[in-house]
Amino acid sequence: MTFEDLALIPPIARALKESSYETPTAIQGKTIPHALNRKDVLGCAQTGTGKTAAFALPILDALGRQKLRAAPHYPCALVLAPTRELAGQIQQSFAVYGRHLQLRTCVIYGGVNQRKQVAALERGVHILIATPGRLLDLVNQGHLDLSKLSFFVLDEADRMLDMGFLPAIRRIIAMLPKKRQSLFFSATLPPKIIQLAKDLLHDPVRVDVTPKKASVEKIDQQVIHTAPGDKKRLLEMILSDESVDRAIVFTRTKRGANVVARTLQEKGIRAAAIHGNKSQNAREQALADFRSKKLKVLVATDLASRGIDIEGITHVVNYDLPQEPEAYVHRVGRTGRAGREGVAIAFCTADERSDLAAIERLIGHKLPVAKNESRRAVARATDNADADAAARSAAAARSAAPARGAAPARGAAPRRWRQRSQKEVAERTEQGSTRSRRHRRRPKSSSASSR
């Protein structure tokens, strides 16, 4: 199958040809025909498989055929995404595929002033891409009405639940008209996701292009068992290797991301942290620098990473293992995209072995212990650290010991003098105490002799 076989309207076909799109990916080839026939779709596919085009092209095709004018406050299509980064990238995809169509798109998310977003909604948009929180804010303020929606897309549904958006999603679904087309996409399908899909979709077509065992064949996955204190040295050795072109390092916490990024910068490795506490401008700048290779390493948390869709990432390092095994699959999916090869290395401490076991159960096999190159990196890191520690200890000992024959520093007495002085003080104190006792007895003796 080719994109020409899908019989999309000429403006879209032209845009795809200009972008060198010829053959649909698996998720696109299985989803687009059903979506063009206005069927609801439940799609299960990992990140990097082309999900965005799978729902964007049918929506653009339908709206391009209808040639409707954009009504103020009433969008025709809504795409919900979990993060600001992912929402922005979805809008970019709509802009590329629909560049020859007279359709307006708008992206809304929190963390920035809403003035421009409100102005866009007042002018009218055909396609709205949004994160749940800001969407509900604008609905409650009266700037947005979803009652005339024709198309609804829920992307990265499993991550939505991980982020605690389930109540917000249910509120949004309750605002939608009953007559609509819904497209539902998720990388995994746990029971809560299945139940949400049943509530949202009507007689859906299920499209599953995810392997039964959640793994990526072309990614060289390794685990390195290490102590917590050795992680920083080990990470530095791995990232200093010439084979690492661009890498993402995952930490469990925002603070951890900041600490790791700062440590790498101090070692001369171009790195930046990206997480929810960073401003929108800082996050966008970090992503832009990473894409242009001004940065070699991006240190990220799970929530921020779902919007990272950058080709050419050669390495992923799990500095901290995720507590949810599904998150490991999403992390690893940052490399080896579009069929390319990649390397994913996981650090595992004694406290993280239960997390590793959960990951291995999910992916269906044991993670191989690091190959010889990585083991040598571990050994070099440990040897260098031991050598550095020994050198520091020797230097400290030399600085603490006075040079042979050198006079003691001014105001400082030799140790034997100090010991003698302390002994003399003790003897004098004892003598003073004896004299005091004798002095107290003298009046009594004088009185007795006088009698």
CB-facing half-sphere around the CA of 81: CA atoms within 13 A: 26
Residue tagged 């299509």 (tokens): 77
Residue 340 is predicted with a pLDDT of 65
Crossing angle of helices 231-239 and 372-400, rounded to 10°: 120
Of 209, 201, 191, whose CA–CA distance to 47 is shortest?
Answer: 209
Residue 304 is predicted with a pLDDT of 58
What's phi and psi for 175, nearest 5 deg? Answer: -85, -10
- Cα distance between the two ends of the chain: 134
* Residue ranges for the chain with pLDDT beneath 70: 47-48, 210-218, 303-309, 337-340, 371-451
CB-facing half-sphere around the CA of 262: CA atoms within 13 A: 6
Distances (CA, A) of 219 to 66, 124, 236, 336, 451: 43, 44, 21, 6, 110
For 148-261, list the strands marked E by DSSP. 151-154, 181-186, 205-208, 219-225, 247-250
The predicted-structure confidence for 353-395, as pLDDT tens digits, reads as follows 989 998 888 888 889 998 644 445 555 555 554 555 556 666 6
Distances (CA, A) of 441 to 250, 448, 449: 81, 11, 13
Residue 56 is predicted with a pLDDT of 96
Give the 3-state secondary structure of residue 254.
helix
Cβ(251)–Cβ(320) under 8 Å?
Answer: yes
For 158-314, list the strands marked E by DSSP. 181-186, 205-208, 219-225, 247-250, 271-274, 297-300
Distances (CA, A) of 432 to 370, 417, 418, 445: 73, 22, 21, 20
Residue 264 is predicted with a pLDDT of 94
Give the 3-state secondary structure of residue 124.
coil
Q: How far apart are CA 172 and CA 167, in angstroms?
A: 9
Q: How far apart are CA 28 and CA 34, in angstroms?
A: 10
Radius of gyration of the chain (CA): 33
Burial level of 166, CB count in 10 A (0-12/13-18/19+)? Answer: middle
Q: b/e string for 60-81 if b means 16 or more Cβ within 10 A?
A: bbbbbeeeeebeebbbbbbbbb
Cβ(304)–Cβ(85) under 8 Å?
Answer: yes
Residue 21 is predicted with a pLDDT of 87
Of 291, 261, 293, whose CA–CA distance to 274 is shortest?
Answer: 261
Q: How far apart are CA 248 and CA 427, in angstroms?
A: 69
Residue 163 is predicted with a pLDDT of 77
Residue tagged 């990140």 (tokens): 47
Residue 164 is predicted with a pLDDT of 82
Residue 111 is predicted with a pLDDT of 83
Residue 191 is predicted with a pLDDT of 84
**CB atoms inside a 10 Å sphere around CB 129:** 29
Delineate the domains of the chain, giving CATH numbers in brackets.
Answer: 3-208 (3.40.50.300), 219-386 (3.40.50.300)
